Structure 1
């Protein structure tokens, strides 16, 4: 089963959900602020993205929380465990939409990319 973490106020999230429904893809939607991805889910996503060198891609770098915490400067010095722990506690920091399936992990919405990756998941 595919899980998609979304935020109601996010236009990209709404587009992604609309696209998934139009494509007939079965998924579970979770509110990212109230129930952020777990450390285990974040690790699985990181693996899908290519490993710890891609850690920054998990972060919503345009968000207010990212800027308020000064993560642009502090993230490079954080361990993977510290960064994932921070993301698991604050859904506002997680890049969204955040889609995770058995063999697919996607952050951000791009219909073309999603189409190729999700078709392989079904």
Structure 2
């Protein structure tokens, strides 16, 4: 099953969801804020996406972090920060079962089959 990871309040996530619905692609939604982020799910994502690619340094959550947390950032601390603050993950993430796509722009899901 295809899974779209994101948050409901995110405009890009809504556009990605609409693109899948328009194409008739069956998928499930995992809201990172409401459904949470487990260590197992994070590791699943990191199997295909580098940790620094997954970390959203443009998010409001990132800007609100302590400067010390940002300054001492490495792969392990980034994992810990994302587990503690799931909204630090770039979104949307589309897990097709074959790959994980980070972000969305119009046309990105045109090749996704249901």
Q: Same fold (TM over 0.5)?
A: yes
Of 54, 57, 60, 1:58 maps to 54
The aligned residue for residue 4 of structure 2 is 4
3-state SS of 1:35 partner:
coil
Gaps of 5+ in 1: none
User: What is the distance in 1 between the residues matched to 2:21 and 2:55?
Assistant: 26
Task: Report matched runs for 1:1-122 at 5 Å.
Answer: 1-49=1-49, 54-69=50-65, 70=67, 72-75=70-73, 77-79=74-76, 82-116=77-111, 118-119=112-113, 122=114
More helix by share: 1
3-state SS of 1:48 partner:
coil
Q: Closer, same or farther in 2 for the Cα pair 1:46/1:112, shift >3 Å?
A: farther
Gaps of 5+ in 2: none
User: What is the distance in 2 between the residues matched to 1:28 and 1:58?
Assistant: 20
Contact 1:5 1:37 in 2 (8 A): no
Worse-matched range after superposition: 33-42 or 15-24: 33-42
The normalised TM-score by structure 2 is 0.79
The normalised TM-score by structure 1 is 0.75
Q: Which has the higher contact order (CA 8 A, sep 6+)?
A: 2
